[in-house]
Structure 1
């Protein structure tokens, strides 16, 4: 039923029920007869108050006709008063005469009408019908009030209403909770005392907002960055509005304030901003990684031509000649350039990796010994190595490079002044919040990790410097290349770890690396050592590479090593030469990255048809790109560009015997 619906209508088959309380039996009988003729049903008659209360407790009636003057015990006013306390059945008083005091008492019971003796039938019917109509209207009103009260108590906003003097007339439970004022304490108090709203300037703005709402006659939104000062002194961020209340004639007779506690929403917004910042940082690092890897790959292709030609040319000149010294310098410069490219690949997480089970404490001690000559004599380097530190699966040289880079950077931050660097290891539980603040973008789950910490007492970093320290080529040093920390980040990322940095200008810097650990150490099998001084190959070899200069240099090197060499300028031509089998190739040198049909696709097709053909995969990237290919069981090797005659000779010896 709607809250505005009428009560159940009465019909002849369902007549209105009446109970009569009258101490004069003849009057009571007359009333019963008249009411029956009018179509009402009389359910009972009582001649005293106690019997009437007892009967009405048992019966359900629509109306009570109550004589004010009852002879025995309590009078009708008392009966009506007790009846009103326990039920809402409407009462109509019946009286022949009454003094002013009695009528005043009767009025306090809020009767629904009076009927004078002797009865006029039309007046009796009208009084009863008006009483029932008023009762239905009040029932609907009470139902509406309950519905409104339930709504106000259930909504997720605080609501406070006032009169035209700013005195509080209503406050719902949520408003009680936020302000700290209970309903009984708040009623009648000035609005600005209970609802203290402060802006950024620290002034209580409640009164001014009330005046503005009354003056404008419309809803006033309080704006952003508003706080409510609760009764216990807490400042609660809120979002709210104040609206005027109008009576039936349109006059403003108060205001209603609707507000909500924005603490949780602000926390969610802050968390969303942090996640967006983290995502943007991760995307930026990934983009820079892709760029760095691409540059390194292209440079390695160029350097391959330099290193192969220089190393090949050295085999044709006298050891003591000036040309030999020039070629040696060219090769050395190319190799240093290749090291820079490897640092760029390390930043991209694609550096050459040879992982093994490592004891970080032992690696840290060994690295610290090497660092004694690399850092300032005024720097005090101390070790704090944890007990029972588990092994990690890592590349020894790369992790050593990480520690050396961080310690050397820490020493340089001391600016040749006395200072301390602490190198610390621990196996520890790392909370989600601490991992969230890391910089690699790996998003590690909360858990146990091996931590390597490098802490200095140096000059620290400004926030704008701290934000860019891992960017490739960013440096604050006059002679630096800006790849040290970029490589550190890439190495940590490629090891499945994460890295955080804390720095305060003038108060030092702390780097923390978190690495996953091994439960059981893995045994490492040393590789075989080959004597390559007099080795020469034989038969046909094929070089497949899209760079013409690399094909030319590679052809010269392989012919020098005893092979008859053919070349192919892309994957499709190379695949045709191999599958046509016009000649039987002893070995194929296959570039991994080529347009159209790349080396990976060529390799898979060839392996299906010729599983025993020796293949050396070449790439300006690291072996990460070809790990799955080298593990398929076929005679496969990998060489990273750039490489020298000696390096390719070692690969050929290991592959061909």
Structure 2
């Protein structure tokens, strides 16, 4: 009769804990309550849970314990126990078997080490059940008796095994929750770090753009005055270097941001620009080979997104190469893309390396955020690439052979893009004395813009702050307002909006805002937009266009 009552009690416990662990906010208490109920129902003197340590699976900790009144607790002494201290016991647990020892004399000869330990604790009978956590042995729950040998029945053992399974599922869910929270914390910390870096990079890009604006426009003015071909070529070298530096600041400005803007009109030119930069950052022992078609159509994503795709894939290839190696690009127009029936043409950009390659397990997880095989990696680069490609309705393929390298292929949809402002020829029309209010806080930029405009027939009044600009606009009449967006005492948009309210055309100048935000100013507010660093002919074309 006692055995029947014990089995009924255990069945009730199984039913109770099946719901107890669902959504519990205090798993430790739920485990303690369960061990106490098991101990009372079975007549045991102790019920306990041992778990393998997460930081070292060769060690066991007694994490939870219930003891009948008058029975000495053992948990504090049972920490960081080497699992090889119990070879027979742990072997049984590893193969998923229950252990039921009605008497220590029933232990097999290979359990001599365990028998010695149990005798030292005055244990007379015991039972243990493996706890599976996330598809592997996580530990075990156990019962023991120090007062008398308990005749637990086969039904008791079956029900206790079920209890261990339920507990294992609860612990698995808890570990998954903690890992999810940890990853979310890592992602949040990384996002904050990236935000700080992006802010720093953006500020640096703004300052560099101001300097490049001055260098490029003074060099251009000087070149227009020279006759000697050799001197003009020298100035041309300065202008080329300025353009390369401009490419770098554009990448700095886009760093850490979700890019957005008009589609890339000249795909080959964009790829050439990022190639020049990568040749400077790749170590000398790694060769970069590029094979791109000349007549690439426009791609249906913005310049910043294209740059991020190429940069992240190339730098990922660099990390895969130990010592000397080769990274190869190929760019071509293809008629179809994998996984879609959307008609082409598509641009296929393939980047392959002769690095270490990836195993099938790594390949299956390569685009997971925060997954990385590098000791110093963030696990965000390839995830960012996948996100950009997916948002722009592109496709990706990846193949890899362990020890032989990897190939990442990106398929980008094409479009008919509206080209950006092109540099006008030297025949840019001259102004006829129209008055321009220039609001620019950087003195050097203010001076060079004033000089360019005045050299082409404009009358310029230049101020350095928003307050001065608003006061000048109220005091006098102007045909055009040209304002920087980043002013020391406010947002240049206030200047633009006040001018618009007076029906004065506006040209906004910025070396700080993203392509997407500048495009919205152009499309939705009708402002002419000039991005720093600019060529003087771009500035003059925008000014004349605004007056039309």
Q: TM-score range by the shorter chain?
A: 0.5 to 0.7
Corresponding residue number in structure 2 for 1:310: 219
Q: TM-score, normalised by structure 1?
A: 0.50
Q: How much does 1:341 deviate?
A: 0.7
Q: How much does 1:574 deviate?
A: 0.9
Change (3 A) 1:353 1:151: closer
Note the 1:131-530 alignment, pairs <5 A.
Answer: 150=12, 154-155=16-17, 156=20, 157=31, 159=35, 217-218=72-73, 220=75, 229=94, 230-231=96-97, 236-237=132-133, 260-261=167-168, 262-320=171-229, 322=231, 324-349=232-257, 353-355=261-263, 393-395=300-302, 399=306, 402-403=309-310, 406=313, 410=317, 413=321, 426-428=337-339, 454-459=351-356, 463-464=373-374, 467=377, 506-511=403-408, 524=417
Q: How much does 1:559 deviate?
A: 0.7
Corresponding residue number in structure 2 for 1:573: 468
Q: Following the alignment from structure 1 to structure 2, what is the Cα–Cα distance between the partners of residues 203 and 455?
A: 43
Q: How much does 1:543 deviate?
A: 1.1
Change (3 A) 1:543 1:470: farther
Q: Following the alignment from structure 2 to structure 1, what is the Cα–Cα distance between the partners of residues 538 and 40?
A: 91
Decide which structure has greater helix share: 2
Change (3 A) 1:535 1:522: same
CA contact (8 A) 1:544 1:591 kept: yes
Q: How much does 1:418 deviate?
A: 8.4
Larger deviation, residues 546-555 vs 266-275: 266-275
The correspondence for 2:522, drawn from 610, 618, 630, is 630
SS across alignment from 2:462: strand
Corresponding residue number in structure 2 for 1:15: none
Q: How much does 1:456 deviate?
A: 3.1
SS across alignment from 1:533: coil
Q: Following the alignment from structure 1 to structure 2, what is the Cα–Cα distance between the partners of residues 465 and 653?
A: 55
Corresponding residue number in structure 1 for 2:499: 606
Q: Following the alignment from structure 2 to structure 1, what is the Cα–Cα distance between the partners of residues 543 and 37?
A: 90
Task: Work out the number of aligned pairs and report it.
Answer: 431
Q: TM-score, normalised by structure 2?
A: 0.58
Corresponding residue number in structure 2 for 1:642: 533
Q: Following the alignment from structure 1 to structure 2, what is the Cα–Cα distance between the partners of residues 536 and 205?
A: 84
CA contact (8 A) 1:219 1:244 kept: no
Change (3 A) 1:639 1:146: same
SS across alignment from 1:562: coil
Change (3 A) 1:201 1:413: closer
Q: How much does 1:625 deviate?
A: 3.0
Corresponding residue number in structure 2 for 1:91: none
Q: Does 1:563 align with 2:455?
A: no
The gaps in structure 1 that reach 5 residues or longer are 1-141, 163-167, 172-186, 384-390, 430-448, 472-484
CA RMSD for the aligned pairs? 6.0
Q: How much does 1:305 deviate?
A: 1.5
Q: Following the alignment from structure 2 to structure 1, what is the Cα–Cα distance between the partners of residues 443 and 185?
A: 45
Change (3 A) 1:556 1:284: same
Q: Following the alignment from structure 2 to structure 1, what is the Cα–Cα distance between the partners of residues 545 and 329?
A: 45
* Structure having the higher Rg: 1
CA contact (8 A) 1:460 1:509 kept: yes
Corresponding residue number in structure 2 for 1:537: 431
Which gives a bigger RCO, structure 1 or 2 (Cα 8 Å, sep 6+)?
A: 2
Q: How much does 1:146 deviate?
A: 8.2
